[in-house]
Amino acid sequence: MIGATKAGLDVSITGLGSRVPDRVITNDELSQWVDTSDEWIVERTGIRERRFADKSEALSDVAMPACKDALAQAGLEGKDIDLLIVATVTPDMSFPSTGAILADKLGARDAAAYDLSAGCTGFMYALAQAYGMLAGGLAKRALVVGGDLLSRILDFEDRSTLVLFGDGAGAVVLEVVPEQGFLGFELGADGGGGASLWLPGSGSRLFDDPDRYVKMNGREVFKFATRVLVQSAEAVLARCGLTIDDVDVYVPHQANVRIIDHATKRLGVPSEKVVVNVDRYGNTSSGSIPLALADAAIDGRLEAGKLVLMTGMGAGLTWGSALMRWTR
Ligand SMILES: CC(C)(COP(=O)(O)OP(=O)(O)OC[C@H]1O[C@@H](n2cnc3c(N)ncnc32)[C@H](O)[C@@H]1OP(=O)(O)O)[C@@H](O)C(=O)NCCC(=O)NCCS
């Protein structure tokens, strides 16, 4: 799916919040559990530490402060929200949805609320959905949450996946605004590549030997990631009549610093325009892009008028880009 936002109402992000659990897990700590080292992890991934949620926390607990911060920044309360989407592969439970749980806790009684599953690309899919509903006049104010507690589905004996992921969540408020914020989206999926990154035994498909943990073919995912990050970004820019030189802030999915470096070089984005926090949080799946966006805001990079390009990729296999002009 690809489109420029030429029809419909103008929509933008008016509030932004993020949250990671308190518990820091360093590479040295991981090397006490599996056969790995700080040197290997830093060299191959750029990750130095990540956060793991406490046993008492579910995704909605970690996401809640991010939602409250996003609402406060937009000058809104929960009751003002009429659409709440949570992008995640680790909801509190299958049902009720984490969206419904958060809507209840926030007092968003008039909101349509649900979860959306598109792997690490979930936040991009959720942004596009919320944009469409607002631009089409179905809703006025949306809260879009991206978050995962990947530590819940990691095999603590598998070094090839354990070192990559972390927990965290971000939230944004989308509103109909007088000036154009979102300019275009490109989203895609290749279910044929799904078994490169999957969680068999987590749904209605029965396996003889069900598995509760993430399985990954790292090299295949690496090749896929470096390809789609570039293709998706170039496609959305071309559709919107812009070039990579127009981009002020590039927010790629935070999976691995080598993947980010590869995409950055191929696209030709200077490093000062690239947001990187994978060193501190690892890959937080659906939380990755909103967490990076929040870091860019803290750094003062998200000034009004700046062109922001976000591109994600992940399980599915899926990918997606959003291009927007920051409006406040
Ligand atoms: C996983 C990843 C970091 C592995 O890096 P790599 O350079 O491809 O490493 P390889 O898989 O070739 O493994 C090299 C060696 O390191 C070993 N190794 C794997 N994980 C290790 C770890 N945590 N610590 C130490 N050694 C490790 C392997 O067993 C292998 O050993 P061998 O040569 O004796 O067989 C890399 O493939 C990657 O980032 N892939 C994308 C993953 C991703 O982003 N997934 C989420 C997408 S949303």
> Residue type for 60, please?
S
> Could you give the percent of the chain with pLDDT greater than 90?
95
Q: By C-alpha distance, which of 138, 132, 131 is closest to 14?
A: 131
Q: Atom 41 (ligand 1): residue with closest C-alpha?
A: 222
Q: How far apart are the C-alpha atoms of 214 and 193, rounded to whole Å?
A: 15
pLDDT at 268: 97
Does this model's pTM top 0.95? My answer is yes
Q: Atom 4 (ligand 1): residue with closest C-alpha?
A: 218
Q: Is 120 in the pocket of ligand 1 (CB under 6 A)?
A: yes
pLDDT at 208: 83
Name the 3-class secondary structure at 18: strand
Per the annotation, the verdict on 283 as an active-site residue is: yes
Q: Is 36 in the pocket of ligand 1 (CB under 6 A)?
A: yes
Per the annotation, the verdict on 262 as an active-site residue is: no
Q: By C-alpha distance, which of 273, 258, 254 is closest to 312?
A: 254
Q: How many helices (H) and strands (E) does the chain have?
A: 10, 14
Q: How far apart are the C-alpha atoms of 159 and 180, rounded to whole Å?
A: 45
Q: How many residues are given for the chain?
A: 328
How many CA atoms lie within 13 Å of 273's alpha carbon, on the beta-carbon side?
A: 19
Average pLDDT, the chain: 97
Least-confidence region, from 44-48, 186-190, 204-208, 265-269: 204-208
Q: Is 160 in the pocket of ligand 1 (CB under 6 A)?
A: yes
pLDDT in tens, 239-294: 999 999 999 999 999 999 999 999 999 999 999 999 999 999 999 999 999 999 99
Atom of ligand 1 nearest to the CA of 258: 39
Q: Is 193 in the pocket of ligand 1 (CB under 6 A)?
A: no
Q: How far apart are the C-alpha atoms of 251 and 293, rounded to whole Å?
A: 7
The Å distance, Cα 222 to ligand 1 centre, comes to 10
Indicate if the pLDDT at residue 210 is higher than 80: no
pLDDT at 100: 98
Q: How far apart are the C-alpha atoms of 298 and 279, rounded to whole Å?
A: 17
pLDDT band for 93, please (50, 70, 90 cuts).
very high
**Helix (H) / strand (E) containing 45:** helix 38-45
pLDDT in tens, 52-88: 999 999 999 999 999 999 999 999 999 999 999 999 9
How far is residue 182 CA from its own chain's centroid? 17
